[in-house]
Amino acid sequence: MPELPEVEIYKRYLESTSLNKRIESASVERNQMLFNVGADKLERLLAGRKFQSCWRHGKYLFAELRPDLWLVLHFGMTGNLIYFKGDSEKPHYTRLLIRFNNGHSLAFTDQRKFGKISINKQPQEFIEERNLGPDALQIDFRAFKTMAARSRGAVKGTLLDQHRIAGLGNLYADEALFQTRIHPQAASCALSEQTLRLLFKNIKRILQTAIKRNADYTEFPKSWLLVNRVKGGKCPRCPGRIATTKVAGRTTYFCPSCQKMPQRNGQ
DNA sequence: CGTGGCTCCTGGCGGC
DNA sequence: TGCCGCCAGGAGCCAC
């Protein structure tokens, strides 16, 4: 599930495989994923150009074709990038295929088609158009605190709202709340400054650790909820059991014994 | 303004 | 063994 760490890994993958190579041709295999550009136009925009740089904001990946022309990828739930030799064995679920002049190709694959492909003049323009919040790795504590204080709903919903903070999805939101011992239903504006500071630090640490480990869950610390995400499973921290509930429409895993609702007077 | 519910899509899995 | 229905998950959209 591509959340911020996965998209950061895709960015590095694109940078290490596909930068500064002339694009011979491109083909759109499924145009329902195109957001603001037609298949013909996208193919024409890509052909003959090179990816010059990459940028990431939240769960969005931007690839520069020209200073005022960027390809924008969103990976939905099952999106992936695959760089491969030749185009004989095109990967399953390829939605956009980009052929380079070195005989290699880059495929944007997406089994469930929740991903989106678009074109924009500038990443910043796209971010403003979509009204995205600050990137979860870039946001500072002041902005984080203000954002949390303004949100009256459950803290889990706040963390998932890409307009407030961009990059966290269902799994990493649960992880951050678990590691900070916050109940996912707690109102975010009811959290003390001390708790918010801890949550802020944990979000950064969790995302950075995940990136360092290539977003490979099998390499994550055993103390994380992510690797113990089984209903009724043992909490890695206390004798309690992992439970599930729905928060903000999402299945939420948490430990009811170490993630308590905050008391009226803080904490 | 905020939120809950529905929708898109597909494969995997539990139940009968 | 087969089939049905449910679920996962990001995010836009609509109704309240």
Residue A30 backbone class (left: φ over 0; alpha: ψ -120 to 50; beta: rest) = beta
> Quick one: which of A65, A63, A28, A36 has its CA closest to A48?
A65
- What is residue A26's predicted lDDT score, i.e. its pLDDT? 96
pTM of structure: 0.95
Compare A46 and A36 and report the one with higher pLDDT: A46
Active site residue A2: yes
Q: How far apart are CA A173 and CA A252, in angstroms?
A: 9
A56 is annotated as an active-site residue? no
pLDDT of residue A264: 55
Which nucleotide's C1' sits nearest to the alpha carbon of A32? B8
Cα gap A57→A134, rounded to integer Å? 8
pLDDT tier for residue A31 given thresholds of 50, 70 and 90: confident
Give catalytic status of residue A41 as yes or no: no
| CA neighbor of A4 nearest in space, from A12, A199, A109, A69 | A12
d(CA A91, CA A99): 13
pLDDT, tens only, A229-260: 888 888 999 999 999 888 988 999 999 999 98
Nucleotides of B under 7 A from a protein CB: 2-6, 8-11
Say which nucleotide is closest to residue A249, CA to C1' distance.
Answer: B4
Per-residue pLDDT tens digits for A41-82: 999 999 999 999 999 999 999 999 999 999 999 999 899 999
Question: What's the pLDDT at A160?
Answer: 94
Query: CA at A188, C1' at B7: how many angstroms apart?
Result: 28
